[in-house]
Amino acid sequence: MAQPLVWVNNLTFRYRDRPEPAIREITFEARAGELFLLAGASGCGKTTLIRCLNGLIPRSYKGELKGEILLDGKPIANLPLARISQMVGTVLQDPERQILGTRVRNEVAFGLENLGLPREEIIQRIDEALSYLGIRHLRDRETFNLSGGEKQKVALAGVLAMRPKILLLDEPLASLDPASAQETLRIVRQMVDEGLCVLMVEHRVEDVLKIHPDQVLLMEEGQIRYLGDVTGLYQVVNYHEIKLPANEVIKRARHDPPPLTLTVLPSVQAEEMKDGKPPLVRFERVCFGYETKPDVLRDINFEIRRGDVIAVLGANGAGKTTLVKHAIGLLKPTSGKVLINGVDSRHLSVAEIARTLGYVFQSPSHMLFAPTVFEELAFGPRNLEHPPEQIQKEVMEALEIVNLSGREKEPPLALSFGQQKRVSIAAVLSMRSRILIMDEPTAGQDYQNYMEFMDAIVQLPNIEAILFITHDIDLAIIYANRVALMSEGRLVADGAPQEVLSNVERLQEWRLVPTSLLHLNLAMLPTSGKFLRAEALAHLASSLKG
């Protein structure tokens, strides 16, 4: 058997400003042509392990490091970072932190230019990497104007152009629409089959299982909880912690108590949701474009009403984030108008709109700046002139909702990406806005955390409407009472989830991939009358058999 490309023995690391190790006694090996899935809760040490493998620990992140790492048989401690970067390519969880070039071609060329390669070879490698990922059409685009998913693909192209032997992917699916995620996974499997060694950190375990990872390393509180094949993973994993295929959940959930029925948006009475009430937000024939992309939004007519829990679905670049940036006043229409509580957004400042709408950005790096988590969460309520004793209460309640109680004195930017995302959500929750808008709220989150905070958010007493952009169809199935579907800048569908998501062929045209939970819900819809989470479907099926 060939020697492993990655060999890790008894690896322990503690960050300089932390009392406890982030990872402890990690031992494993990975070979060429192997796909290694690293799974576990947000903050369990996965990203720290990645930083050890690409040499950023201890060179950029300081602390106490013990144990050994060999890359292709060479001790990593003896290798300069420039040499490591040629052997190990890393795609970060948040592409905003990785992209430096102003245009796509410059970004992909960045590493190659640092290697001092000839111009002709650089151009060839750029074109090869972009073509391999199916994004050659982005070659001359400005990186600033790309969608989150497009940025993720560009970051991957920049790494692949370096032709590494080992590829580290930290949440590569987090910003991708379902079809793009499926394509990325197919490419990953192809790269592995061609001999690349790939270690993938991913919370979307159900999706990765479709490309048959060779090994799964499940982490818990910095240690290995399971290391082995997929079959063994099913034996040890808790379906509340890791998202498994719906059929697998149903098998287990029928033996557990049924899930609690949620009281969604309790502040909104049933009669307020009927027609005739003025909408909180109204889009009237809204069009918008950038100089390089003139038709990002095309003739949008859309309303947010009291009682709405709206999931906005669509492919990367469909215009979803641009839509919500109009709702919060960050962008103004090229034509048409957006009305907030009946007032044209052109006549309102972003601060005035923030009293009605709270917005969680897709990337937490666009929001976080304060020295501590508490100060981050208190900033918004202070600007809205909430009383000091009320701010304390709002901050602590928001931290509890996102499962970050006890972290209020820590610097937000020292937390993991998933924890930073939850801080950004809590920062908006603490403002007690009437409408909550979240852009990819589950990105970087483990399954248990995001199910718990979504359960809590939809039951908050002060919120009148929720809108969330997501690539997770199952999130729409479980929580939304409306689905708005965007394609190429147009609103192509808007209605109840069981109506919009029932035409599987149309969904695929719009780059949405039907999930196991969607298929089960469609099959049971004549009996259930509505979409349900897998645990509820399990008990419904059991009652029918009984």
pLDDT in tens, 130-164: 998 889 999 999 988 887 778 888 998 999 999 99
Please calculate the CA angle 412-418-423 and round it to the nearest 5 degrees: 40
Position 528 in a domain? no
Domain boundary among 216, 237, 258: 237
Q: How far apart are CA 245 and CA 252, in angstroms?
A: 11
Judge whether 137 and 303 are in contact, CB under 8 Å. no
Q: Residue 1 — pLDDT band, cuts 50, 70, 90?
A: low
pTM, two decimals, is 0.85
pLDDT tens per residue across span 375-427 = 999 999 998 899 999 999 999 999 999 999 999 999 998 888 788 889 999 99
Task: Give the pLDDT of residue 270.
Answer: 61
| 104 and 20 housed in the same domain | yes
Q: How far apart are CA 444 and CA 417, in angstroms?
A: 6
Find the range with the poorest average confidence among 47-51, 53-57, 174-178, 486-490: 174-178
Please calculate the CA angle 207-211-215 and round it to the nearest 5 degrees: 100
Specify the DSSP class assigned to residue 142.
Answer: B
Position 248 in a domain? no
| 207 and 293 housed in the same domain | no
Q: How far apart are CA 534 and CA 520, in angstroms?
A: 8
Which residues form the domain of 348? 270-496
- Rounded to 5 degrees, φ, ψ at 14 are -120, 125
Q: How far apart are CA 30 and CA 37, in angstroms?
A: 11
Q: How far apart are CA 57 and CA 90, in angstroms?
A: 13
Q: Residue 17 — pLDDT band, cuts 50, 70, 90?
A: confident
Residue 39: which of 245, 247, 228, 175 has the closest Cα? Answer: 228
Sign of CA dihedral 516, 518, 523, 524: positive
- Rounded to 5 degrees, φ, ψ at 387 are -60, 145
Task: Give the pLDDT of residue 489.
Answer: 95
Q: How far apart are CA 520 and CA 100, in angstroms?
A: 43
Q: How far apart are CA 321 and CA 326, in angstroms?
A: 9
| 196 and 287 housed in the same domain | no
Residue 159: which of 105, 124, 219, 111 has the closest Cα? Answer: 111
Task: Give the pLDDT of residue 84.
Answer: 93
Neighbours of 15 (CB within 10 A): 16
Q: How far apart are CA 246 and CA 537, in angstroms?
A: 9
| 184 and 312 housed in the same domain | no
* Greatest CA separation for the chain: 72
Q: Residue 175 — pLDDT band, cuts 50, 70, 90?
A: confident
For all residues of the chain together, what is the average pLDDT? 91
Task: Give the pLDDT of residue 153.
Answer: 86
Residue that the structure tokens 């099959």 belong to? 523
Position 255 in a domain? no
Both structure tokens of 75: 């001790």
| 403 and 320 housed in the same domain | yes
Using the predicted structure, report yes or no on whether residue 276 has a pLDDT greater than 70: no
Mean pLDDT in residue range 317-346: 93
Q: How far apart are CA 333 and CA 342, in angstroms?
A: 16
Task: Give the pLDDT of residue 105.
Answer: 95
| 452 and 399 housed in the same domain | yes
Domain boundary among 496, 515, 533: 496
Find the range with the poorest average confidence among 16-30, 267-281, 372-386: 267-281
Q: How far apart are CA 109 and CA 123, in angstroms?
A: 8
Indicate the SS3 state at residue 154: helix
Q: How far apart are CA 523 and CA 519, in angstroms?
A: 6
For the chain, the domain total comes to: 2
Judge whether 165 and 197 are in contact, CB under 8 Å. yes
Domain boundary among 213, 237, 261: 237
| 282 and 226 housed in the same domain | no
Specify the DSSP class assigned to residue 103.
Answer: B
Task: Give the pLDDT of residue 219.
Answer: 95
Both structure tokens of 477: 């199935």
Q: How far apart are CA 415 and CA 251, in angstroms?
A: 36
Using the predicted structure, report yes or no on whether residue 15 has a pLDDT greater than 70: yes
Q: Which amino acid is at 294?
A: P
Please report, rounded to a whole number, the percentage of residues in the chain having pLDDT higher than 70.
98
CATH number of the domain residue 356 falls in: 3.40.50.300
| 197 and 344 housed in the same domain | no
Task: Give the pLDDT of residue 275.
Answer: 56
Q: Which amino acid is at 16?
A: R
Position 50 in a domain? yes
| 369 and 290 housed in the same domain | yes
Helix (H) or strand (E) holding 498: helix 497-500
Using the predicted structure, report yes or no on whether residue 319 has a pLDDT greater than 80: yes
Task: Give the pLDDT of residue 367.
Answer: 84
Residue 361, C-beta contacts closer than 8 angstroms, at least 6 positions apart: 367, 424, 439
Indicate the SS3 state at residue 391: helix
Mean pLDDT in residue range 278-287: 95
**Integer CA distances (angstroms), 345 to 282, 294, 380, 430, 439, in order:** 10, 21, 20, 24, 20
| 227 and 339 housed in the same domain | no
Residue that the structure tokens 């790096």 belong to? 365
Q: How far apart are CA 255 and CA 253, in angstroms?
A: 5
Please calculate the CA angle 318-466-422 and round it to the nearest 5 degrees: 85
Q: How far apart are CA 429 and CA 463, in angstroms?
A: 9
Position 363 in a domain? yes
Residue 160: which of 112, 226, 211, 217 has the closest Cα? Answer: 112
Task: Give the pLDDT of residue 405.
Answer: 93
| 216 and 306 housed in the same domain | no
Q: Which amino acid is at 408?
A: E
pLDDT tens per residue across span 61-95 = 999 999 999 999 999 999 998 889 889 999 887 77
b or e along 439-468 (b: 16 or more beta carbons within 10 Å of the residue's beta carbon)? bbbbbbbbbbbbbebbbbbbebeebbbbbb
Mean pLDDT in residue range 239-247: 89
Using the predicted structure, report yes or no on whether residue 460 has a pLDDT greater than 60: yes
The residue ranking higher by pLDDT, 516 or 317, is: 516
Position 527 in a domain? no
Neighbours of 318 (CB within 10 A): 27
Q: How far apart are CA 209 and CA 393, in angstroms?
A: 42
| 437 and 375 housed in the same domain | yes
Specify the DSSP class assigned to residue 2.
Answer: P
Position 65 in a domain? yes
Using the predicted structure, report yes or no on whether residue 519 has a pLDDT greater than 70: yes
Residue 300: which of 288, 314, 318 has the closest Cα? Answer: 288
Position 261 in a domain? no
